[in-house]
Amino acid sequence: MYTQFLGNYLLSKGYITSEQLIDSIRYAKTLHMKLGFLAIHAGYMTCAEVDKIHIMQTHVDKRFGELAVEEGYLTSGEVDELLKMQKPSFLLLGQAIVEKSYMTMKQFEDALISYQSDYKLSETDLTDTQSDKLNLILKDFYQFNSNQYLDYYIEYIGLLFNNLTRFIGDDFTPFKGTAFSSYSTDFSISQKVLGNMEFNTVIDMDEPTYIKFASRYAEDDFVENDEYVNASVEDFLNLHNGLFTVNMSNEHLEELALTPPVRERNSLLTSESKIYCIPIGFSFGTINFLMTI
């Protein structure tokens, strides 16, 4: 999840635009981690040294590691170590951004240090999938009104991102949330969560994104909007909300219930309280996740 929020951090600091970020997320899916990028991140080489090796590679048909050892920038042992080490997804995103020339390597490394510093993250945290620190990022990101169940709503959003990663894919970036008093939907599915904490959930998107989202969840290749597409998006929302009710029951002894999912098209959502909109930019389109609390 830190990769997804790192993307948005870069966006919020003005390093890249949202189009560049989505383009980089899309591109990162096609990449293999490059040794030079790993070497900089590990502190074994500087950006200038990596650039020099890349230029040399345009003249000589040799691998990066081989040239780096010949030039004295790396030892053979360090090359082996880099080849064996874990390749975290946030570095792959960084490599994509740099290869697309949206940022330089130095800019990315500096931004990564700032990100870790701003959220007090360690290198290990960046490869962790869920922790209390992630909840701190979520709280900072999604400014809900003060509510006795605020921590549970934050858990809900954390679970949403985990379920999106698990069932749809990790090629997304969350954008800053916004609160509305009314919202006009496109293709949407809604479901109410009932109990002591009661709220309405809606997943909304344009039609091409709706079809692609459904395809990802169903692990199929839908080409037109039909009953299977609708059922797929309904199933995702129902499953996600269901898993939340299980967590709430097991961890907090809060018993919640769900209503059956409802399909809506071009409808106007209104609420006396706020409608919180959480846009999530996937490589295939943006989904809007709405919560009325």
Residues that bind other proteins (CB under 8 A): 167, 218, 227-228, 231-232, 234-235, 238-239, 241-243, 245-246, 248-250, 255-260
| CB closer to other proteins out of 121 and 248 | 248
- Whole-number minimum distance, CB 257 to other proteins, in Å? 7
Residue 106 three-state SS: helix
User: How many Cβ atoms are within 10 Å of 151's Cβ, its own excluded?
Assistant: 12
> With contact defined as beta carbons under 8 Å apart, do 185 and 278 qualify?
no
| CB closer to other proteins out of 217 and 282 | 217
Q: Strand locations in 92-242, DSSP E? A: 172-174, 178-184, 187-194, 199-205
Q: Which residues contact 123 (CB under 8 A, 6 or more apart)?
A: 116
- Please tell me the distance from the alpha carbon of residue 163 to that of residue 125, in angstroms, as a whole number: 19
- Whole-number minimum distance, CB 258 to other proteins, in Å? 5
| CB closer to other proteins out of 82 and 256 | 256
- Whole-number minimum distance, CB 152 to other proteins, in Å? 15
| CB closer to other proteins out of 83 and 246 | 246
- Whole-number minimum distance, CB 165 to other proteins, in Å? 14
**Start-end of H helices in 33-88:** 35-42, 47-57, 64-70, 76-84
| CB closer to other proteins out of 79 and 193 | 193
- Whole-number minimum distance, CB 44 to other proteins, in Å? 42
Q: Which two tokens stand for residue 19?
A: 């189009």
Query: Which has the closest alpha carbon to 99: 25, 156, 165, 173?
Result: 25
